Amino acid sequence: MSERLQPGDTAPAFTLPDADGTPVSLADHKGRKVIVYFYPAALTPGCTKQACDFTDNLEVLTGAGYDVIGISPDKPEKLARFRDKENLKVTLLADPDKTVLTEYGAFGEKKLYGKTVTGVIRSTVVVDEDGKVERALYNVKATGHVAKIIRDLGI
């Protein structure tokens, strides 16, 4: 399991396929702040709620200078179904081998219904314009999380 990121750390670089299979890199967003959120699985209730919340608040976030990227271990085909079914506007990226999830500390041991399991840790990392970690939030709740981020960032 990798270490959790801390404010001031350099955000690990990544290039992953989006829902259409097009490569997207963190470097593509240089000069803008990026909210990178990690979620366990597309088309599940909590992850759908979270993705819809980000989509519903996307104009507010982009207007404040933030791009939003969601990363899960799902394959691009499943992400495309998720995007189309829920009419999502956020960029969804596929990390089936969990490399980026692990580099960001968003994959590892977690508690699930009182048991310790290995899986995706619902997390959000805010990366500044220079590629540094501004905030790193782990074990976040799907519901209410986007509103909390907006409050915490003073948007």
Residues labelled catalytic = 47
What six digits make up the tokens of 130? Answer: 């220079």
Q: Tokens 């801390």, residue?
A: 6
Q: Are strands 15-17 and 23-25 parallel, antiparallel or unpaired?
A: antiparallel
Asked if 32 and 129 count as a contact pair (C-beta separation under 8 A), the reply is yes
Q: Are strands 66-72 and 33-38 parallel, antiparallel or unpaired?
A: parallel
